[in-house]
Amino acid sequence: MGSSDVVDGFMHQMGSLSFIRGKRRMGIYETFTKRKKKAAKQGQADVYQYDSLPKEFRVQVVHIWLSAIGPIRPAPFGGVEGNIAAWNFIHDTLAREVGVFNLGQGRNNRFVQCQEYLFEAGVEEALDLIELSFRFVDTVIRQLHHVKRIEARITQEPDEAIDELNHRFRDHGVLVQPELE
């Protein structure tokens, strides 16, 4: 499945959140932050507030990533293994939109770089990464063959991961405006 399969107009609404397969045109991914800025320029008020993403919440997101996307880890005989393509796509898509080469210092490990970015980024930038990663879970991981999920050490079904994320958002009082089309 190519990276262009990830983004294309599919909507999956969950509680106060909704994840839409991104609006991808000619290699451009429209992040949460870009949509928010565009809405502000058009005079549309943001109905939800999100002043902070507590460290505990960010740690819980990483735990969900581990079970829903899988890590990149050292291979027994050298190199790395895991869901390398997933983390390359997530990292490279956001890095391109942010305008940087790397999201973190993680020695070419895109999963580690995404973790570093999640912990160091501001609220809106962290939400960009969370949204992109869970769009990936909702679209690509959902379609991944069972054997490929086992190979990537994916242990959580997409709906369970999204439900858990929504639960964590509510637990920490973080609300994100639903994106409607």
Which of the two residues, 30 and 93, has the higher pLDDT score?
A: 93
Write out pLDDT tens, residues 124-151.
999 999 999 999 999 999 999 999 898 8
Closest CA relative to residue 48, chosen from 132, 145, 170, 146: 170
pTM value is: 0.74
| Model confidence band, residue 52 (pLDDT cutoffs 50, 70, 90) | confident
The 3-state DSSP class for residue 164 equals helix
Domains of the chain: which residue ranges?
Answer: 3-171
pLDDT at 163: 92
Integer Cα distance of 70 and 179 in angstroms: 27
Residues making up the chain, counted from first to last: 181
Q: Which residues contact 84 (CB under 8 A, 6 or more apart)?
A: 72, 110
Please, what sign has the CA dihedral across residues 43, 45, 49, 55?
negative
Q: Degrees (nearest 5) of the Cα angle 153, 18, 72?
A: 20
Using the predicted structure, report yes or no on whether residue 2 has a pLDDT greater than 70.
Answer: no
Backbone angles phi, psi at 11, to 5 degrees: -115, 135
pLDDT at 74: 74
Give the Å distances, CA to CA, from 61 to 2, 37, 45. Answer: 25, 25, 27
pLDDT, average across residues 71-78: 78
